[in-house]
Amino acid sequence: MQAAAKHMTPVSLVLGGKNPCYVDKSCDLSVAAHRIAWARFINAGQNSLAPEYVLCHLDIRDSLIHELEMSIHEFYGKNPQDSQHYGRMASLDQYRRVKNFLSCGQVVLGGQTVERERYIAPTVLIDVKESDPIMKQEILGPVLPILTVESLEEAIQFINKRDRPLAVYVYSNSPQVISEVMHNTSSGSFCSNDSMVQSLYTRLPCGGIGNSGVGQYGGKFSFDAFSHSRACLLRNTAIECVTYLRYPPYAEKQLRLMQWATSISRTSNWCRIL
């Protein structure tokens, strides 16, 4: 933005953020786990649109963890380190940064690491505190914290206490729950009952809001982001007997005549907008 400001050039920035994922009691946990696990662990979690943490009720947490474990085994086998479909961290610095997150809360799935391969297993954490580093930084790695809430309202409050994310996700079979989350949170994008796939639809814009970015891209939105919409109004010099009313000195009579002229101009062809 600093470089572009010298030339008054528009920019589009995607800055990422902490994307929340609310899992409701009414959802199909098996389907939800498959889609969450795919989004969080593909490319070893190095995706800015991936779910950053899960919010769910305590009474479904263990079932969700079990379903996540089944999904991980289905995708990558019992040992993801041996899977040709599971990635590695892009750099040693990134590996060490994400590895440090494993000390937050309690590891209930995964947690294995191999520095020489920059390998971090698909990992699920519980008992994470809001003050832990993993809840303050974007993860960009294969680690998924699960936090519990007592109600939908508490989940929405939890989300809204933080910077506006790049995406908000909700898994629920209740249209009312989906509507509540969508209308009472703010984010660059929103997706129900899936994760990350909103970026595949070229007729939808992709971008952040607030700390998660500025501007939009994707399909025609990319073209529009760097195009200037030029306002063009073609007028003529007719009806000066009416338009003179805008000139001073002003009087009450001019105001009434101007209001009358405005009402007529809505149905006339005095000018064209291109």
Domains of the chain, residue spans: 10-222, 233-273
Report how far residue 83's alpha carbon sits from residue 250's, in angstroms, rounded to the nearest whole number. 80
pLDDT, residue 50, reads 95
97: left (phi over 0), alpha (psi -120 to 50) or beta: alpha
Residue 81: CB atoms within 10 A of its CB come to 15
Report how far residue 245's alpha carbon sits from residue 261's, in angstroms, rounded to the nearest whole number. 9
By the 8 A CB rule, do 71 and 173 touch?
no
Nearest to 50, CA basis, from 131, 122, 115, 130: 122
Tell me whether the omega of the peptide bond preceding residue 249 falls within 30 degrees of 0, making it cis.
yes
Max CA-CA distance within the chain?
A: 86
Task: Look at residue 120 and give its three-state secondary structure.
Answer: strand
pLDDT, residue 274, reads 54
CATH number of 10-222: 3.40.309.10
Which tokens go with 190?
């929103």
Q: Which amino acid is at 207?
A: G
Query: What pTM was computed for the model?
Result: 0.82
Helix then strand count (H, E) for the chain reads: 9, 13
Which tokens go with 152?
């939908």
Report how far residue 54's alpha carbon sits from residue 40's, in angstroms, rounded to the nearest whole number. 11
Residues 6+ positions from 219 with CB-CB distance below 8 Å: 202, 203, 204
| H helix or E strand, kind and range, residue 31 | helix 29-41
CA-derived radius of gyration, the chain: 26
Mean pLDDT of each 10-residue bin along the chain, 274 residues long: 86 86 96 97 95 97 98 96 96 97 96 97 96 94 97 97 94 97 94 92 80 80 83 81 78 81 62 54
By the 8 A CB rule, do 186 and 164 touch?
yes
pLDDT, residue 103, reads 94
